[in-house]
């Protein structure tokens, strides 16, 4: 199996705070992996380093076989990202935003690709409306559409279904799964929604105080901790931190 992402001893220190502590992990091509952890566990810091927005203090990131830290530009066009903490320009319409990002990612046949993502994410009703006029759920869908505009081989998502209603969450989940199956893309996402993780992920990485404390399939973790839900596993691991 091809390894898309490999990190070795990835570390990020902010002054006296060790945000990520020697994280070593690898993601296989076509896998969906959830990055779990409580607040301040290092999920967003890890995602930021994997996106090139944050320079690691030490360690290695290898993406598609390239040294990502030394030259991130060689692989950035093969990736994409969505996060509720980063917005798209609010004064531009949905179509204008998608058009700008399609060009930034060097997408071919921009018009037809925009039509595809508009249809996939059900944006037809407001595609020519400015972003600032949309509800938070609609904005999340636009952000996901932007993340898919270049058909990324590696997709990083920070809380992808935040602000979505259960019905929309369900079809977005199906859509991501279908995209993975159809394209062979690798997906890494941070989430607090354990139900979503159970339904969607092949692998789970659990972080605590910047360290990887658990790694495995949802089924193997349920078996190891003898629980019925991942939420119970998450709580047990989080509370064990308090006892230490």
Partner 1 sequence: MNLTLSIGRISALLLRYVYLLRSSWPRIIEIAYWPTMQMIIWGFVSQYFSASSPELTTGGILISVVLVWDSLFRSHISYTLSFLEELWSRNLGNLFVSPLRPIELIVSLASISMMRTLIGMVPAALLAIPFFGVSVFEIGFPLLAFFFNLVFTGWAISQFVTGILIRYGLGAESLTWVLPFLIAPFSCIYYPLDTLPEWMRTVAEVIPTSYVFEGMRSLLLDGVWRADLLLTAFLLNLLYFFMGVGFFFWAFNSARKQGILLQSGE
Binding site for partner 1 (CB under 8 A): 12, 14, 44-45, 48, 51-55, 73, 76-77, 79-81, 83, 85-93, 96, 99-106, 130, 146
Q: What's the rounded Cα separation, in Å, for the pair 241 and 244?
A: 5
Q: How far is the CB of 48 from partner 1 (least distance, A)?
A: 5
Q: Which is nearer to partner 1, 109 or 229 (CB)?
A: 109
Closest to partner 1 by CB, 75 vs 194, is 75
Nearest approach, Cβ of 158 to partner 1 (angstroms)? 9
The nearer residue to partner 1, 55 or 243, going by C-beta atoms, is 55
Q: Measured between alpha carbons, how far is 27 from 90 in angstroms, rounded to an integer?
A: 34
Least spacing, CB of residue 132 vs partner 1, in Å: 9
115 burial level (CB within 10 Å; 0-12, 13-18, 19+)? middle
The least CB distance from residue 140 to partner 1, in Å, is 14
Q: CA 126 to CA 31: how far, in whole Å?
A: 32
Sorted by sequence, the CB contacts under 8 Å of residue 131 that are 6+ apart come out as 87, 88, 89, 90, 91, 92, 93, 94, 97, 139, 142
Q: How far is the CB of 168 from partner 1 (least distance, A)?
A: 22
Smallest separation, CB 87 to partner 1 (Å): 4
Q: How far is the CB of 97 from partner 1 (least distance, A)?
A: 8
Residue that has been written with the tokens 């139900």 in this structure = 195
User: Which parts of the chain are beta strand (E)?
Assistant: 3-14, 17-28, 32-36, 58-63, 66-67, 79-82, 154-158, 186-190, 203-208, 211-216
Instruction: Tell me how far apart the alpha carbons of residues 72 and 27 are, in angstroms, rounded to a whole number.
Output: 18
Between 24 and 74, whose beta carbon lies closer to partner 1? 74
Nearer to partner 1, 20 or 221 (CB): 20
DSSP 83: -
Q: What angle do CA 171, 175, 181 make, to 5 degrees?
A: 145
Toward partner 1, which CB reaches closer, 78 or 227? Answer: 78
Nearer Cβ to partner 1 (147/164)? 147
In three-state secondary structure terms, 187 is strand
């Amino acid at each position: 199996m091809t390894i898309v992402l490999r990190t070795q001893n990835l570390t990020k220190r902010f002054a006296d705070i060790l945000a990520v502590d020697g994280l070593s992990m690898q993601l296989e091509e076509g896998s969906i992996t959830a990055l779990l952890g409580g607040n301040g566990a290092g999920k967003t810091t890890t995602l930021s380093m994997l996106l090139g927005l944050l320079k690691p203090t030490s360690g290695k990131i290898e993406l598609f076989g390239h040294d990502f830290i030394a030259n991130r530009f060689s692989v950035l066009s093969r990736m994409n990202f969505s996060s509720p903490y980063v917005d798209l320009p609010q004064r531009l319409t949905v179509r204008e935003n998608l058009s700008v990002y399609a060009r930034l990612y060097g997408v071919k046949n921009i018009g037809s690709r925009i039509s595809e993502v508009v249809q996939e994410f059900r944006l037809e009703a407001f595609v020519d409306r400015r972003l600032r006029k949309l509800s938070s759920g609609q904005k999340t869908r636009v952000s996901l559409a932007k993340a898919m505009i270049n058909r990324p081989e590696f997709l990083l998502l920070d809380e992808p279904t935040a602000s979505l209603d259960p019905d929309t969450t369900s079809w977005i989940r199906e859509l991501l799964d279908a995209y993975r199956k159809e394209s062979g893309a690798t997906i890494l996402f941070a989430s607090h929604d354990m139900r979503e993780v159970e339904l969607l992920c092949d692998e789970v990485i659990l972080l605590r105080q910047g360290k990887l404390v658990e790694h495995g399939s949802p089924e193997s973790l349920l078996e190891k901790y003898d629980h019925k839900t991942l939420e119970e596993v998450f709580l047990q691991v989080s509370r064990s931190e308090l006892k230490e």
